[in-house]
Amino acid sequence: MDNTPFLSARFDKFIARLPAPYRYGRAPYLVFFVSIIIALLVLDMLITPYPNTVGVTFALALLLAFFFFLVYWGVPLAPIIHMGTAASAAMLCYVAWHAGGVFFPRLAWLMILPLTPFYVISRGAGYFWLCVVWLLQLGMAAANYWGWLPPFHHELHHATSTWVTISAVTGTLIIVPMIYDRLHEQAVQKGMRYQRELELKRQELEQILQMREHFIATISHELRTPMNAILGFNDLLMARVQDKPEALKVLNHTRQSADHLMTVINDILDYSQLQAGQLVVHSETFELRKITGYAFELFRPKVKSMAVDYKIELDEALPKWVHTDRHRLMQVLVNLLGNALKFTHQGEVVLRVQWENPGVLFSVTDTGIGIAPERRDQIFKRFSQADIGIHSRYGGNGLGLAISQKLAHLLGGDIGFESELGQGSRFWFRLPLQAAEAPQHTPDAQSPALQTGDQVWRFLIVDDHPINRLLVKKVLQNGWPQCEILEAAEGQQALQMLRDTPVDLVLMDMVMPVMDGIAATRCLRETFAATVKDLPVLGLTANVNPVDLEVFRQAGLSDLMLKPFEPAQLCAKVEQCLLTAKKSSQGS
Q: Which helix (H) or strand (E) holds 364?
A: strand 360-366
Q: Which is nearer to ligand ADP, 369 or 505 (CB)?
A: 369
Kindly state the smallest distance separating residue 369's Cβ from ligand ADP, in Å.
Answer: 5
Residues within window 493-552 making contact with ligand ADP, judged by CB under 6 A: none
From candidates 269, 386, 498, 537, binder to ligand ADP by CB under 6 A: 386
Cβ neighbour number for residue 262 with a 10 Å cutoff: 17
Q: Which is nearer to ligand ADP, 378 or 434 (CB)?
A: 378
Q: Are 480 and 486 in contact (CB under 8 A)?
A: no
Rounded Cα–Cα distance for residues 265 and 290 (Å): 26
Interface region with ligand ADP, contact rule CB under 6 A, candidates 49-57, 215-223, 300-308, 339-347: 339-347
Rounded Cα–Cα distance for residues 540 and 522 (Å): 15
Q: Which of 329, 347, 343, 351 is nearest to 396 (CA)?
A: 343
Q: Which is nearer to ligand ADP, 371 or 570 (CB)?
A: 371
Q: Which is nearer to ligand ADP, 101 or 396 (CB)?
A: 396
Kindly state the smallest distance separating residue 519's Cβ from ligand ADP, in Å.
Answer: 40
Q: Which is nearer to ligand ADP, 264 or 519 (CB)?
A: 264
Kindly state the smallest distance separating residue 366's Cβ from ligand ADP, in Å.
Answer: 5
Tell me the CA distances in angstroms from 437 to 151, 171, 320, 354, 440, one per residue in order.
112, 89, 9, 20, 9
Classified as helix, coil or strand, 538 is: strand
Label each residue of 215-237 as H, E or C: HHHHHHHHHHHHHHHHHHHHHHH
CA–CA–CA angle 51, 56, 58 (5° rounding): 90
Rounded Cα–Cα distance for residues 300 and 284 (Å): 26
Q: Which is nearer to ligand ADP, 72 or 394 (CB)?
A: 394
Q: Are 502 and 525 in contact (CB under 8 A)?
A: no
Letters for 434-473 (x = contact with ligand ADP by CB under 6 A, - = none) are ----------------------------------------
Q: Are 352 and 401 in contact (CB under 8 A)?
A: no
Give me the helix-helix angle, 77-98 and 123-145, nearest 10°: 10
Kindly state the smallest distance separating residue 354's Cβ from ligand ADP, in Å.
Answer: 19
Kindly state the smallest distance separating residue 276's Cβ from ligand ADP, in Å.
Answer: 19
Kindly state the smallest distance separating residue 379's Cβ from ligand ADP, in Å.
Answer: 5
Kindly state the smallest distance separating residue 254's Cβ from ligand ADP, in Å.
Answer: 22
Residues within window 5-44 making contact with ligand ADP, judged by CB under 6 A: none
From candidates 88, 116, 170, 425, binder to ligand ADP by CB under 6 A: 425
Q: Which is nearer to ligand ADP, 234 or 335 (CB)?
A: 335
Does 390 engage in binding with ligand ADP (CB under 6 A)? Answer: yes
Classified as helix, coil or strand, 505 is: strand
Q: Which is nearer to ligand ADP, 398 or 453 (CB)?
A: 398
Residues within window 99-118 making contact with ligand ADP, judged by CB under 6 A: none
Q: Are 566 and 235 in contact (CB under 8 A)?
A: yes
Q: Binders of ligand ADP: how many residues, by CB under 6 A?
A: 22
Letters for 392-411 (x = contact with ligand ADP by CB under 6 A, - = none) are ----xxxxxxx---------
Q: Which is nearer to ligand ADP, 249 or 409 (CB)?
A: 409
Kindly state the smallest distance separating residue 313's Cβ from ligand ADP, in Å.
Answer: 17
Classified as helix, coil or strand, 430 is: strand
Letters for 299-338 (x = contact with ligand ADP by CB under 6 A, - = none) are ------------------------------------x---
Kindly state the smallest distance separating residue 295's Cβ from ligand ADP, in Å.
Answer: 15
Cα 353 to chain centroid, rounded? 37
Kindly state the smallest distance separating residue 376's Cβ from ligand ADP, in Å.
Answer: 9
Q: Which of 146, 271, 269, 233 is nearest to 548 (CA)?
A: 269
Q: Which of 433, 417, 461, 429 is nearest to 574 (CA)?
A: 461
From candidates 85, 144, 339, 363, binder to ligand ADP by CB under 6 A: 339
Rounded Cα–Cα distance for residues 225 and 375 (Å): 38
Q: Which is nearer to ligand ADP, 78 or 264 (CB)?
A: 264
Interface region with ligand ADP, contact rule CB under 6 A, candidates 131-139, 170-178, 286-294, 381-389: 381-389
Query: Percentages helix, strand, coil for the chain, rounded to the nearest 5?
Result: 60, 10, 25
Cβ neighbour number for residue 541 with a 10 Å cutoff: 26
Residues within window 340-379 making contact with ligand ADP, judged by CB under 6 A: 340, 343, 366, 368-371, 379
Rounded Cα–Cα distance for residues 102 and 537 (Å): 100
Q: Are 340 and 326 in contact (CB under 8 A)?
A: no
Kindly state the smallest distance separating residue 568's Cβ from ligand ADP, in Å.
Answer: 28
Q: Is the dihedral of CA 23, 28, 30, 34 positive or negative?
A: positive
From candidates 167, 170, 385, 521, binder to ligand ADP by CB under 6 A: 385
DSSP type of residue 565: -
Kindly state the smallest distance separating residue 491's Cβ from ligand ADP, in Å.
Answer: 40
Contact footprint for ligand ADP (CB under 6 A): 335, 339-340, 343, 366, 368-371, 379, 384-386, 390, 396-402, 425
